[in-house]
Amino acid sequence: MSATPDHEPSRASADEPTPTASSIDPSHAIVEADPLLDERKLLGLPPTGLLSSGQIEAAMGLRAQDIRHHPMGESHKARRVLHLLEAAADRLQAQLALAARGPLHPQAAKRVAARLAVTNRTAARLMVVSPEQRSASMGQVIARDLTDFDRLALAVLVVSRGWNATSAKRLASVADEHGVAVADLERVVDGLTRFLAEGGGVRGNIGDIGEGARLSMRSPRAMTRIDAAEDTVERVLHRLNDALRDEVTSESRASQARLALVFGLFALSWMGVLSWIFFSPSYESLSETPIVDNSTMPALTAEDAAVDASSTIDASSSAPLQRGANGELIAPVAARAAPAKFPRAPGFVPSVPPAGLLEAASAGADWVAAIEEVIPKLTTNGGHIDGLNLALVADALQRAGGAWCVSIGYRAEVTRAFVTLTKTLRSSDDFRKLMQAVPGSDVPIASASANDAKIPQWQRTWIRAFGAGVLATVALDSSQPASASAAREEMRLRLIPIPSGVVTDPFASAATVQIAAAAPALAEQLALDTATLEDASRFVEAMNAAATTSALRTQAALAAVDACLRAPGALDKPGALVDFLGYMLHRLDFNSRGASSETVRNALASWMVDRSIPVTRLWVLTSLLDADMSIAWYGPDLVLATNADLPAREAMSEQMIAAFPKQQVTSIGEAVLVDGKTLEEWKLHVANADALPNDTACNRLRNAAVALGLARVARGFELGEPSVVKQALDDVIDLQSRKDSEWSASPTGERAGLPASGVGDGEFATVYATLGRDAAKRIDQIRALGARPAAGDLGPIDARVVVAEALRGTPSEVRVAAATVLVDRYPNGREVLQATLDALVDGGGSSDAAMFVSQLVGQSVAGRDWQSEARERLLDRLTLLEDSQLHADDSAGLEVARMANALTARFVRAAPTASGRPDRSLMQLADALRDEAASKFLAVSFPQSVDEIERLRGARRSLATSIAQRMAAETPGIVEYAAMLVAARQPALQSKLEPILSEGRRARTAAVSATEQVDVDLRTLLKVIAQGLAPRATERDAS
C-alpha cells in the first residue's frame, strides 16, 4: 500500500501478503500519485519557488532512472510514464524560457528539436508550452491571420528547428531590420508558440505556411553536409554512451570483462600516442632544400583572407618580361594583402558612470572638509599627527581615489588641501606616515576598509592613479623639501616613476603613467572574456580625467593599443578586444594635427618591426587604419600581409614613415593652425572687446579680464585642447554680457535690511520707557522686536534704545536679550549699525559689548583698543551693504585675478597657488611666460633680452604704491614675453610685431591712469597673439 505525505503509513497485518514488485503499477510505484497531477508533483519538485533548467532535468533524470531499474521498466506502462514525465519537464522548461530565467538545458533543447522535427506524429503537437498557454484557446487560426513579420518569424523557427541559439540570433537580426523592439518580439514568439500549440487550428494550412516560410527565409539549405556529419557524430557518441552505461550498470562478469578490454585498449592507444610524440625523430634537418622554387615566390593566404603584399617575382625568374605599348619594361606588380573584414567597424561608445559612483562623487566636499578639519588640529598639536587624524585623512583620500575621475574639481581641491596639510607637519616620521596613508599601495594600512576585496579592478586602478598623482604633486613641490623627500621615498617603494624634465602637471603625469600601466591587464581580460566593455569605459574615463594634455592622452592611448596587440586571443574576429582597439586608434592623431603626431608615427613604425608582435595582429591593425576614413593618406597598399617576414615588415615601416603627413609649416615658420570658423569667431570676440567702453575703472578692469580670457582661448588653440577653448569662451561671453548693476552689487550678495511695514519709529521706545525697572517686562518687550514680520531694520529712535541696552543695559539678562535680538534679526540693518557706531563714540563698554559687536559684524574685535577696531569694522559693514562703484571695481579686479590664474595654469609646471589679488595674479602670469620664453631659442633676442625685461619689471614694481599701479607694472612684461614666444615660432613675424609693440608703448604713455595702462597693454597682447594664429587649410584649399 502506498502512503501519502499527509498520513502515517498503515502497518500491514501479519496475515496480509507482502506485495511483490511485479504487482505494482510502475506509474504509481514511482510517482506515488495519479499521472495527471501537476508537473512539479509529477517530477517530485517543490510545489513553490523558482526553478532552474538544470534542476528540472535532474529531477526528470532521477524519475527516469527509477523507472528503468524497475522490473517493469520495459513495459508499455513504463514508457507511458516516461512520456508523461518528458511532457511535464518540457512544460516547465517552456515556462522558464518564456520568463527569460536563464539558458535552456542541452537535454531539454534536444528534446524540443526532436519534437519539432517529427511533425507527422501526434507527439509533435505536444509543443514546449506552459499549461496556461496550452489551455488557452485561440480559435481556428489560419495562415492569412498572420502578418508579414509573423510569417518571417515563423519561417525562422521552422528553418532553425525550433527555439534554440541559432533561431534566437536570427530572430534578433530580423527584428532589428524591421524595427521591432525586444518586448514586441517576445510577444510575437509567444503568439507563434500558441499558434503551433493549437495544432487543430492550423491542420489544413501548416504545410503551406511551412513552405512559404522557407521561401521567405533567404538562407542556404536547411541541412548542410557539415550539419549532417555533426548529427551523425552526435548519434554515434550517444550510442557509445548508452552502451557503456548499460555495461557499467549490468554488474555481470561478461560486462566487466568487456569494460576491462575497452579501457585497456584505450590506455594502450594513449601510451602509443605519447610515445610517438616524445620519441619520434625530428624532420627539421631533412628540410635542407627550399620547398618553394627559387624562380617564384607565391603570395600565401592567411585564413583565406590576406595576400602577402611584399611577395614579388624574383628578378632571376625565367618568366618572360612584359613590355608596354612603347616598348618599356613592365616590372612584376606585387600582390596586395586583402584587409581584415568585420561585420561593423570596431569600436564602442563608453557607458555612463554607474549611479553608485556618481553618488560617491557627490560627496567631494566631504573629502576636502575632512582633510581641512585635521589641519588646525595639527597646528595646535605642534605639527604632530596622531593615529586618529591619520585615519581620517587616509579615509578621505581613499574615498576620493575611488571616484575622482568623475569629480575633477574636487580632485584639485583634495590635492591642494593635502599639500597644505603636509606643510603643517614637523617630524620626518610624521611625513613618512602621512605618505604611507596615501591610497594605492599594495601594502594594507590600518585605515583600509574591510570591503577592499569587493572593489572592482578598474576602481583599484583609479585609486592607484590617484595616489600616484598626489605623491607626485608633493614630491615636486620645491617649497617643502621635507615632505617632497618623504613623497619621493614612498614613490620609489611603490615603484612609481617620478616625473622628470618639464612637468606642467605632476598629478596628471604620474596618474597617466599608472593608468597606462593598467592597459595590459585590461586587454588580457578583454581577450579572455573576464572583463567587458564596461571596464573599458571606466579605463577611458580615467584616461580622460588624468591626461590633461594631448601628449599625456597620446601616451595612454598608445599604451592601450600596444596592450591590445600583445594580448592573447584573436583580433580578426568581432569581440570586446578589437572594439577596444578600434576606439583607442580613434584617439590617436594620424594626421599631424598636433605636436603628439610624431610620437604616434614613431610608435606605428616600431610596431611594424617588433618581433614580439605576431604579423597577423599587425595585419588587423593596418586593416583598421585602412578602413578609417578619417585617415585619408592610409591606403590598401599599407595593409601588411599575414605572411610578411621581417624584411617585408621593415620595408612597410619605412613606407609608413614616408607616407605619414608632416606637420604643416608656413614659409615664415611654424604657425598655430586653427579651424577657419573657430578663428573667425575668436577674432569677432576680439573686435567686441575693442568696442567695450573704458570710461570707468570698472570697465577698464572688465576689459582686461576679457582680454586675458581671449588669450587663454589662444593658448588652448596652441595646446590642442578644445575643453580649454570652450571654457574660456564661456567666461568671455559671461564677462561681456554682465550688466552694470551686477558689477556694482555687493560682492557677498547681501542687501541692507528694511524696517517692518506698518510700525512707526519710536513706538518701541515709548512703550519701553513706561516699563521702568521691571526686568521681566523689559525682556519681553525686547523679544517682541524679534517677532516683527519681514523686519530687517529698526527706526533711528528705536535702534538707539535697543543698542544702548545691548551695550550697557542692566541687569545682564536685559543686555543679553537685546544683543541676541539685534544679532539674529537685524545684522544688516543700516540704522542699527549706525546707532552702534554712534554709541561706541562715547567709549566704555564691557567684554559683553565687545562680543556683541563681534557677532554683529561677523569679525572678532578684542584687545584694549577694541572700540576703534569695532568702529572700523562697522564702517566696512555699512559700506559693504551699499551698491557702489567701489564694489564694481573690486568685482572687476577679482575677475582679472581669476582669468589671470586660469591662463597661468596653462603655462606653469605645477598648479600655482591661486591668488585673489589681481596684482599678484598678473605677477604669476608674467613669471610663467618668462619661464616659457626662456626655453625657446632665438638667434637675436626680441623684442629684448629676458634680463632686460626683468630689470624693467623690477623698476616699475619699485615705483608702484597701489594695487592698480602694481598691475600696470606687470602688463608690459606680459606683452613682451608673448611677443617673444610668437617670434620664436615664426621669426619672420618680427617685422610685423615691432610696429604693434611700438603703438602699444605710445598708447600706454598717453594713458592717464594705471587701470587704463592695464587695459591698453592687454589689448596689445591680443594683437600680438593674433599674428601667430593661422587658419588650417581644408581639403578644398589643399586641392
924-959 pLDDT, tens per residue? Answer: 999 999 888 887 766 567 888 888 899 889 889 888
**Amino acid, res. 667:** S
Kindly tell me if the per-residue pLDDT of 77 is higher than 80. no
* Least confident residue range of 97-101, 818-822, 827-831: 97-101
Kindly tell me if the per-residue pLDDT of 141 is higher than 70. no
Ranked by mean pLDDT, which of 8-12, 146-150, 852-856 comes out on top?
852-856
Q: How high is the pLDDT of residue 608? A: 92
Residue 32 or residue 655, greater confidence: 655
Kindly tell me if the per-residue pLDDT of 274 is higher than 90. no
Ranked by mean pLDDT, which of 202-216, 987-1001, 1023-1037 comes out on top?
987-1001
String of b and e for 153-171 (b: at least 16 CB within 10 Å)?
A: bbbbbbbbbbbbeebeebb
Q: How high is the pLDDT of residue 442? A: 66
String of b and e for 175-185 (b: at least 16 CB within 10 Å)?
A: beeeebeeeeb
Kindly tell me if the per-residue pLDDT of 521 is higher than 80. yes
| Chain Cα centroid distance, residue 569 | 25
For a pLDDT cut of 70, what percent of the chain falls above it?
76
Kindly tell me if the per-residue pLDDT of 733 is higher than 50. yes
Residue 506 or residue 846, greater confidence: 506
Mean pLDDT confidence for 561-583: 90
What does the alpha-carbon distance between residue 887 and residue 893 come to, in Å, rounded to a whole number? 10
Q: How confident is the model at residue 194 (pLDDT cuts 50, 70, 90)?
A: low
Q: How confident is the model at residue 749 (pLDDT cuts 50, 70, 90)?
A: low
Specify whether the CB–CB gap between 896 and 966 falls below 8 A: no
* Least confident residue range of 122-131, 189-198, 393-402, 491-500: 122-131
Mean pLDDT confidence for 730-738: 87
Kindly tell me if the per-residue pLDDT of 111 is higher than 80. no
Q: How high is the pLDDT of residue 282? A: 47
Length of the chain equals 1039
Q: How high is the pLDDT of residue 781? A: 82
Kindly tell me if the per-residue pLDDT of 516 is higher than 90. yes
Q: How confident is the model at residue 560 (pLDDT cuts 50, 70, 90)?
A: very high
- Residue 118, helix vs strand vs coil: coil
Residue 135 or residue 54, greater confidence: 54
DSSP H or E stretch at residue 306? strand 306-307
For residue 484, give the nearest of 440, 425, 399 by alpha carbon: 425
The C-alpha cell that represents 145 in the structure block: 491571420
* Least confident residue range of 265-279, 295-309, 679-693, 799-813: 295-309
Residue appearing with cell numbers 554712534 = 838
Mean pLDDT confidence for 604-628: 91
Kindly tell me if the per-residue pLDDT of 795 is higher than 60. yes
Cβ-proximal residues to 99 (8 Å cutoff; 6+ apart), any chain: none
Mean pLDDT confidence for 340-356: 87
Q: How high is the pLDDT of residue 1014? A: 93
Kindly tell me if the per-residue pLDDT of 9 is higher than 50. no
Q: How many CB atoms lie within 10 A of CB 971?
A: 26
Q: How high is the pLDDT of residue 825? A: 81
Q: How many CB atoms lie within 10 A of CB 562?
A: 20
Ranked by mean pLDDT, which of 90-99, 536-545, 671-680, 928-937 comes out on top?
536-545
Q: How high is the pLDDT of residue 940? A: 62
What does the alpha-carbon distance between residue 370 and residue 1034 come to, in Å, rounded to a whole number? 52
465-493 pLDDT, tens per residue? Answer: 999 999 998 888 877 777 888 888 888 88
Q: How confident is the model at residue 758 (pLDDT cuts 50, 70, 90)?
A: low
The C-alpha cell that represents 547 in the structure block: 591626461
Kindly tell me if the per-residue pLDDT of 147 is higher than 50. yes
Q: How high is the pLDDT of residue 39? A: 78
β partners of residue 307: 301
Mean pLDDT confidence for 637-641: 89
* Least confident residue range of 22-36, 598-612, 615-629: 22-36
Tell me the H-state helices in 476-546. 481-493, 506-517, 519-527, 533-546
Ranked by mean pLDDT, which of 369-378, 405-414, 668-677 comes out on top?
369-378
Kindly tell me if the per-residue pLDDT of 561 is higher than 70. yes
Q: How confident is the model at residue 326 (pLDDT cuts 50, 70, 90)?
A: very low
Mean pLDDT confidence for 564-590: 89
Q: How high is the pLDDT of residue 449? A: 45
* Least confident residue range of 203-217, 449-463, 805-819, 950-964: 203-217
CA distances in angstroms from 239 to 65, 230, 234, listed in the order given: 17, 14, 9
What does the alpha-carbon distance between residue 313 and residue 7 come to, in Å, rounded to a whole number? 92
Kindly tell me if the per-residue pLDDT of 114 is higher than 80. no
What does pLDDT average to over the chain?
76
String of b and e for 605-638 (b: at least 16 CB within 10 Å)?
A: bebbeeeebebbbbbbbbbbbbbbeebeebeeeb
Look up the pTM and report it: 0.42
Q: How high is the pLDDT of residue 851? A: 85
Mean pLDDT confidence for 981-997: 85
Mean pLDDT confidence for 12-26: 38
What does the alpha-carbon distance between residue 763 and residue 967 come to, in Å, rounded to a whole number? 53
Q: How high is the pLDDT of residue 1024? A: 93
- Residue 669, helix vs strand vs coil: strand
413-470 pLDDT, tens per residue? Answer: 888 889 888 888 888 888 888 898 899 876 544 334 445 557 888 889 999 999 999 9
Kindly tell me if the per-residue pLDDT of 323 is higher than 70. no
Mean pLDDT confidence for 580-591: 89
The C-alpha cell that represents 168 in the structure block: 534566437
* Least confident residue range of 288-302, 312-326, 420-434: 288-302
Mean pLDDT confidence for 691-698: 86
Question: What is 23-79 written as a DSSP string?
Answer: GS-HHHHHH-S-TTS-HHHHHT--SSS---HHHHHHHHHHHHHHHHHSTTTTSHHHH
- Residue 673, helix vs strand vs coil: strand
